[in-house]
Amino acid sequence: MTVVEVEIGGSGSGVPALEELGAREQQVGAELAALAEPLSPRGGRTISLPRLTMTPVRMSFSLNDVTDLDAFEKLGRQLAVAPQDDLRREEIVAEVDRSADGFVVTRLGTRRGERVEASSETIPLAEARTKLVDAVLHADVVTLRLGEEAGAERIVDSFLRGLGDDAERILGGFLATAAGRLVRSVTSEHRRFLAHPEYEKVVAVEDFGPLRTARAETSADRTGKWKRGVGYTGYAKSLYDQDWFDSGTEKALAVILDDADEIELWCR
């Protein structure tokens, strides 16, 4: 006995169409087999693609990274205008001290509510400069390394230029508070430096040729009307035996690439 399946309007004529059930099962089985068939690159070829990876670089602040010294010279000019008033109002002072583990550090302290009076001690400018360099070198944001002293000296010299001819008198009276202002300015430069992180760019070349799953419905019509989900064949320079597209424009572009002499291999 032959089992048949009745399909209404299957032929488009408006009359029932008869088809053997066994033939339909074979067709469905073939489609399922094609759907599960792996699709490897032809001839084991791959396309070499560059991959750019960016990783943040650990920022290590150095005094030599400070190239714009105008802020320190401007600070000196501000203090030189009215040092008696400006530095007496200053609450932050810097003192170079030795920590419990033996390291030399610059400690920023406050004298809130106190009036900071000028010291009667006279300090030569060269000695005051040395103390300012030490205060900057041992600030919390500075890591002592070879060459840091030169960076600290450039910063201090810019500050002294701003103070002008009265630098020795001003520092002789308010060295600790002036050092505090200078160290605070260096700390601000440190924050500005960290606000612009750097990234390490590494370019690696990777072979592209993943295993794909073939489409059940295929067509060798490269220039005909596009149909979604169809695996098109017949491209000589494609990486795969089948290619499918999201639009007719993509399908037309594939023909242009495949026919171009400049193209050796392409992949959708």
Q: What's the pLDDT score for residue 262? A: 93
Separation CA 169–CA 173 (nearest Å): 6
Q: What's the pLDDT score for residue 65? A: 81
Q: What's the pLDDT score for residue 117? A: 47
Residue pair 201/54 in contact (Cβ under 8 Å)? The answer is yes
Q: What's the pLDDT score for residue 14? A: 53
DSSP state at residue 59 = P
Bridge-based pairing of strands 199-208 and 47-56 is antiparallel
Domain locations in the chain as residue ranges: 4-54+209-259, 63-194
Alpha-carbon separation of residue 268 from 73, 78, 200, 240 (angstroms)? 61, 65, 31, 9
pTM for this structure? 0.45
Q: What is the mean pLDDT of each run of 10 residues along the chain (268 residues)?
A: 50 53 68 70 88 71 84 88 58 53 52 46 84 88 84 92 89 83 87 69 85 90 91 93 93 94 92
Tokens of 130: 């040395």
Angle between helices 148-163 and 167-194 (to 10 degrees): 130
Q: What's the pLDDT score for residue 157? A: 93
Q: What's the pLDDT score for residue 97? A: 59
